[in-house]
Amino acid sequence: MKLTKSIVLAGIALALTGTSCSKEKTMAAPTKAKISSGSEHYTFELAENVSRTKVTFRNHFGIELSGDLYAPKNAAAKGNAAIAICGPFGAVKEQASGFYANEMASRGYIVLAFDPSYTGESGGEPRYMNSPDINTEDFMAAVDYLSTRDNIDPEKIGIIGICGWGGMALNTAAIDTRIKATVASTMYDMSRVAANGYFDSANSADARNEARKALMAQRIEDFKAVEAGGTYKLGGGVVDPLPEDAPYFVKDYYDYYKTPRGYHERSLNSNGGWNVTAGTSLMNTKLLAYSDEIQNAVMVLHGEKAHSRYFGEDAFKRLTGDNKELVIIPGASHTDLYDGGDKNYIPFDRLAEFFGKYLK
């Protein structure tokens, strides 16, 4: 199967020909993950010392967001520190963000893992769209929710963004001064990859103009499809079946999203992916424009062997102040920081120490 260059919004580095799902209205299960659908399917076990409660809240665009609130069973009645978590880009709260929330709650934090607008159990129509503005607002709405809980100190709130939501987290930290500490884990700058391609391989006006033409042509097709009672064309999630010559990082994505390790029936990356035109706003917006003005603490966490490492390192170079730190995990790939991989690569104790230092 021939590999072709593509703007990829599902978090994979290359899209493969023949994987789009233009007529798909529901997401089909992949070949290697035989898991029954259901609202209570999580890709990890809840810690014994942690409780989990489903919650909903609205952002300032009026979209109802769905989240899981994780709390230590021995949490104090007042004054707790809290963290909001989202990501990876195209994943759901029952995957990596819930995994992080569970671990951080077991270390004493109240944590909200949530589905962003247009995905998972959250509202928003049409489905499978994204927006740097609305997704930044999603994080701010999560901070709104946490700030108004009786058992949470509104001066002790942090956020964690995973993968493409690492860039969203930095964008949110640049506008929301209520956020006292931010972690961007295995981050992507989704606006950069949408506009420039991977490793900036399509970083030219001509390349972007060709991409714009393709997106605008797809808008016409989508409009016709909706008028006829159909839906927008999906771009395809992680390729399935996996070609033998797929790049190593595509194989890593497959191993997470398409097998029981990380598959979820509501996850875009596990199934049909984003709408093809969902990248339009990302191409036209630079997420990290004001990241150099973030005054509160930031940790950029990345794997040594992650193909996406350049996003995190370049983002870190823009940060200012002595409360910023770059942590590179030896031997870890991009997806190892989704759930720890096979060697528990995610340094949760270090994250707890970081938030403990700044959420006090």
Q: How many CB atoms lie within 10 A of CB 284?
A: 13
Mean pLDDT over 183-202 rounds to 96
Model pLDDT for residues 173-191, shown as the tens digit of each residue: 999 999 999 999 999 999 9
Higher-pLDDT residue of 29, 296: 296
Question: How does residue 17 score in pLDDT terms, banded at 50, 70 and 90?
Answer: very low
| Per-residue pLDDT at 163 exceeds 90 | yes
Mean pLDDT of all residues in 126-155: 97
Concatenate the DSSP letters of all residues of 119-162 into one string.
STTS--SSSS---HHHHHHHHHHHHHHHHT-TTEEEEEEEEEEE
Please tell me the predicted confidence (pLDDT) of residue 289: 96
8 pLDDT higher than 90: no
Each residue's pLDDT tens digit, 241-285: 999 999 999 999 999 999 999 999 999 999 999 999 999 999 999
Structure tokens at 12: 């994979």
* CA 246/CA 257 separation, integer angstroms: 15
What is the DSSP code string of 61-126? TSPEEEEEEEEETT--SS-EEEEEEE-STT--TTSHHHHHHHHHHTTT-EEEEEPPTTSTTS--SS
Average pLDDT over residues 8-20: 33
**CB burial class (10 A; 0-12, 13-18, 19+) of residue 277?**
buried
Which of the residue ranges 6-10, 123-127, 176-180 would you say has the lowest mean pLDDT? Answer: 6-10
CB atoms within 10 A of CB 64: 14
- For 308-337, write each residue's pLDDT tens digit: 999 999 999 999 999 999 999 999 999 999
pLDDT score of 30: 33
> Is the model's pLDDT at 98 over the cut of 80?
yes
Residue 31, Cβ density class (10 Å: 0-12 exposed, 13-18 middle, ≥19 buried): exposed
pLDDT of residue 40: 87
Query: Is 27's pLDDT higher than 70?
Result: no
Please list the alpha-helical segments (H only) found in the chain: 96-105, 132-147, 164-175, 190-196, 205-227, 248-257, 280-283, 309-318, 336-339, 348-358
Q: Which of 12-21, 78-87, 142-151, 303-312 has the lowest mean pLDDT?
A: 12-21
Q: Across all residues in the chain, what is the average pLDDT? A: 90
| CB of 199 closer than 8 Å to CB of 211 | no
* pLDDT at residue 20, rounded to an integer: 31
pLDDT band with cut points at 50, 70 and 90 for residue 7 = very low
| Measured distance CA(251)–CA(238) in Å, rounded | 9
pLDDT of residue 32: 32
* pLDDT value of residue 39: 55
The separation between CA 1 and the C-alpha centre of its own chain, rounded to angstroms, equals: 28
Residue 47 reports pLDDT greater than 80: yes
Q: How many Å is the Cα radius of gyration of the chain?
A: 19
Report residue 68: phi and psi, to 5°: -115, 125
